Amino acid sequence: MTEPAAPRPATITLPQPSANGSAPPPPAPSPRRRRLHTRISGLRTGLIAAAAALAVVMIFIIQNTRAVNISFLGAHLHLSLAVALILAVIAGALLMAAAGTARITQLRRIIRRDRSKPPAS
């Protein structure tokens, strides 16, 4: 019977110095693949966020059903607390949108005015 051959030790190769005496640069790491961002993926993310926000709002409405009296500029209403707060948030968002729209319109007018001016010499 023959004896099984002894396993050979693993060989390690060392970097060989180049002509100028320095070691070659290490291999470049493989580039990481970037995730592709498309409009559909953005829409999907937005829908997921909107569904989560809707769930939070629904829980808020369910937990705040107590009716309250609201008086504003002579108007008197009897609404649930949740509806009153949501209406206040919507009103605040509309006011902020109006202010933002006014500022954007102002900046666009300035840009149009500056484009029509002859260049300074």
Amino acid identity at 32: R
Our measurement of the distance from residue 97's CA atom to the centroid of its chain's CA atoms, rounded to an integer in Å, reads 20
Closest CA to 36 of 44, 47, 25, 24: 44
Q: Does the residue 74 lie in any domain?
A: yes
Segments forming the whole domain that contains residue 93: 40-115
Q: pLDDT tens-digit profile of 21-47?
A: 666 667 777 677 777 778 888 888 999
Instruction: Please tell me whether residue 75 adopts helix, strand or coil conformation.
Output: strand
Number of structural domains (the chain) is 1
Q: What is the pTM of this model?
A: 0.50
Is position 10 within any domain? no
Domain annotation covers residue 107: yes
pLDDT in tens, 31-87: 777 777 788 888 889 999 999 998 988 888 888 888 888 888 888 889 888 888 888
The answer to whether residues 59 and 86 touch, using CB atoms and an 8 Å cutoff, is no
Return the H-helix or E-strand segment holding 42.
helix 39-63
